[in-house]
Amino acid sequence: MKNKAITSRDVDFAKWYTDIVRAAHLASYSNVKGCIVIEPNGYAIWERMQQTLDKMFKETGHKNICMPMLIPENLMKKESDLINGFAPEVAWVTQGGDKKLEERMCIRPTSETLFSDYYSTLVSSYRDLPIKYNQWCNVLRWEKETRPFLRSREFLWQEGHTIHETKEEAENETKMMLEIYKKFFEEYLAIPVITGKKTEKEKFAGAEYTLTIEALMYNGVSLQSATSHYFGQKFSKAYDIKFSNRNNEQEYAYQTSWGSSTRMIGGLIMVHSDDNGLVLPPKIAPNQVAIIPIGNSELVKVKVEEIYNELNNAGITSYVDNSEKSPGFKFAEAEVNGIPVRIEIGERDLNENKITFVRRDTREKIVESLNIDVSKYVNELLSKIQNNLYNNALKRREDLTYECHNLEDVEKIMNTKPGFIKAMWCGSEECELKMKEIKGTKSRCILENHKHIDDKCIVCGKEAKHLVVWGIQY
RNA sequence: CGGGAAGUAGCACAACUUGGCAGUGCGCGUGGUUUGGGACCAUGAGGUUGCAGGUUCAAAUCCUGUCUUCCCGACCA
């Protein structure tokens, strides 16, 4: 039974993706170019992501804050790498009411400038450090080509900005936040990620270095899923964030930033979902269970109520589909919306003292005795699903990860079944650009502390410096 | 931003070539029968044909502009 509204992902992956977004009511297009309406189903996923990450941020000593949305031009331009990096995609406000502004202001594409300016007024002694703030907000980047969740002009995200007394402490923060993202992806989103450092060419504008987590989608295209940047003193020098250190000398603070966005929803879709609709890992699903009554006898009603309460008491989120639709319709609806477990309760089963469970990941139907501990059973099922999704994604990534020693192999792979390419690199941008000529293959990240697979750069044959993961990106 | 395609009811589309009452299916309302994989019968509602301008007795249809979307590139999270 194939969902009619969804194009098969093996036939046309791009079309499949937008079909899922629409069929599962995650988002719809608006009349504002490149901006989407995130619908309740999509927003609920974002809220779950926020709750989970926010908790992890707070547990590691971060506080939330809210910065202005507008950035005056002079403030934006203080750090030249940043403005050069973002200039092409910044939107400017030049008029307020009927008055032309003397100084135009940009709508934040990212808030390093505002945080830095603010921090400069906040810090005077090493005793004031560290400062570890985060904000949940929207940002605007004037993208040319847009796709729901993966790349829209306005998107929701979280940006953490911290300043520290020492280089070491800031670098530890950079690493720790990357680990938090990795943990969130692997444990909650059930998406295995590769971690590493971006090359000079691919790093964030203004950063000393950028750490990234990279995930592989069903079609072998990679998605930069979250990044953590170490700034050193670049911004603190540009924005004059100085403090008296322990030797009573003036010193510039050491800074980091890190972010993740609604793009994660796109990743979630492209890793787990199938031709029948969305598939959500239980730990991130706003509703973990759909309870579907069949028929409307008193017997069924009572049992439905009982199961709902039992799940609720066990901390499992569920809803009862009491709409007047036919059971078949409700099954399909729960499925397309990606609800991890469906419980079907009907008179036929009840008379035999039975209850039916259906897993969304495998679509397997399981009939069980009513004597089981339902909430315990569901909890076990949810964790099986969570693990299964992760393992499937991991296996796929492993199947699509290739070690390459020459460009012919890379070309062959990228033209047939793309994925992650592991190959040695000399460190020159020239070789990165050469690689890009093969279907747009770019460096995803440098793997550190990995055994080198060759002595020579795969492109130029000169001495290799790094083991790099390459891929086609979204 | 280049190359291509498209926009008609909530959704998918037809009518456009050759200008002449804006239609079909799904969905939606009402009444009834149903209910274990997207139920059935009856009946009804729903439109400034993306927007603006032009040609014409007459425009969904022809022309111009503009906005939005999709696909392929370039650019970027």
Give the pLDDT mean for A294-299: 90
CB A295 within 7 Å, strand B: yes
Residues A314 and A205 placed together within one structural domain of the fold: no
pLDDT at residue number A117? 96
Distance in angstroms: CA A274, C1' B34: 32
Residues A80 and A144 placed together within one structural domain of the fold: yes
Give the pLDDT mean for A2-21: 82
Residues A335 and A424 placed together within one structural domain of the fold: no
**Closest nucleotide C1' to the C-alpha of A157:** B77
CB A68 within 7 Å, strand B: no
Among the three residues A348, A380, A412, which one is the final residue of a domain in this structure? A380
CB A199 within 7 Å, strand B: no
Share of residues in chain A with pLDDT > 70 (%): 99
Secondary structure of A3-38 as H, E, C letters: CCCCCCCCCCHHHHHHHHHHHCCCEEECCCCCCEEE
- pLDDT tens per residue across span A437-455: 898 899 999 999 899 999 9
Residues A27 and A122 placed together within one structural domain of the fold: yes
Q: Picking from A44-58, A65-79, A164-178, A307-321, which range would have the lowest pLDDT averaged per residue?
A: A65-79
* A278 lies in some domain: no
pTM above 0.90, yes or no: yes
Q: Which residue's alpha carbon is at the shortest distance from the C1' of B38?
A: A329
* A387 lies in some domain: no
pLDDT at residue number A387? 98
Give the pLDDT mean for A39-61: 96
Residues A229 and A196 placed together within one structural domain of the fold: yes
Distance in angstroms: CA A15, C1' B5: 15
For residue A411, the domain's CATH number is: 3.30.110.30
Give the pLDDT mean for A227-251: 97
CB A451 within 7 Å, strand B: no
Residues A138 and A187 placed together within one structural domain of the fold: yes
CB A144 within 7 Å, strand B: yes
For residue A346, the domain's CATH number is: 3.40.50.800
Residues A55 and A189 placed together within one structural domain of the fold: yes
Which bases on strand B have an atom closer than 7 Å to a protein beta carbon? 1-2, 34-39, 67-77
Res. A150: pLDDT tops 60: yes
CB A335 within 7 Å, strand B: yes
Residues A352 and A451 placed together within one structural domain of the fold: no
Total domain count, chain A? 3
Residues A375 and A445 placed together within one structural domain of the fold: no
Among the three residues A272, A307, A323, which one is the final residue of a domain in this structure? A272
Q: What is the mean pLDDT of chain A?
A: 94
* A396 lies in some domain: no
Using pLDDT thresholds of 50, 70 and 90, give the confidence band for residue A2. low
Among the three residues A350, A380, A410, which one is the final residue of a domain in this structure? A380
Residues A407 and A376 placed together within one structural domain of the fold: no
Distance in angstroms: CA A281, C1' B46: 40
Distance in angstroms: CA A41, C1' B35: 27
**Closest nucleotide C1' to the C-alpha of A261:** B77
pLDDT at residue number A4? 66
CB A327 within 7 Å, strand B: yes
Res. A212: pLDDT tops 90: yes
* Residues (413-432, chain A) with CB within 7 Å of strand B atoms: none
* A365 lies in some domain: yes
CB A255 within 7 Å, strand B: no
**Closest nucleotide C1' to the C-alpha of A32:** B68
* Residues (260-279, chain A) with CB within 7 Å of strand B atoms: 261-263, 276-277
CB A1 within 7 Å, strand B: yes
* A388 lies in some domain: no
Residues A198 and A233 placed together within one structural domain of the fold: yes
Distance in angstroms: CA A31, C1' B57: 37
Res. A417: pLDDT tops 60: yes
State the ipTM, two decimals: 0.88
* A64 lies in some domain: yes
- pLDDT tens per residue across span A304-338: 999 999 999 999 999 999 998 999 999 999 999 99
**Closest nucleotide C1' to the C-alpha of A336:** B38
Give me the domain span that covers residue A421: 401-471
CB A344 within 7 Å, strand B: yes
Give the pLDDT mean for A11-28: 87
CB A29 within 7 Å, strand B: yes
CB A321 within 7 Å, strand B: no
CB A23 within 7 Å, strand B: yes
Residues A174 and A37 placed together within one structural domain of the fold: yes
**Closest nucleotide C1' to the C-alpha of A345:** B36
* Residues (209-228, chain A) with CB within 7 Å of strand B atoms: 224
CB A94 within 7 Å, strand B: no
**Closest nucleotide C1' to the C-alpha of A344:** B36
Using pLDDT thresholds of 50, 70 and 90, give the confidence band for residue A1. very low
CB neighbours of A177 closer than 8 A, spacing ≥ 6? A60, A160, A228, A256, A258
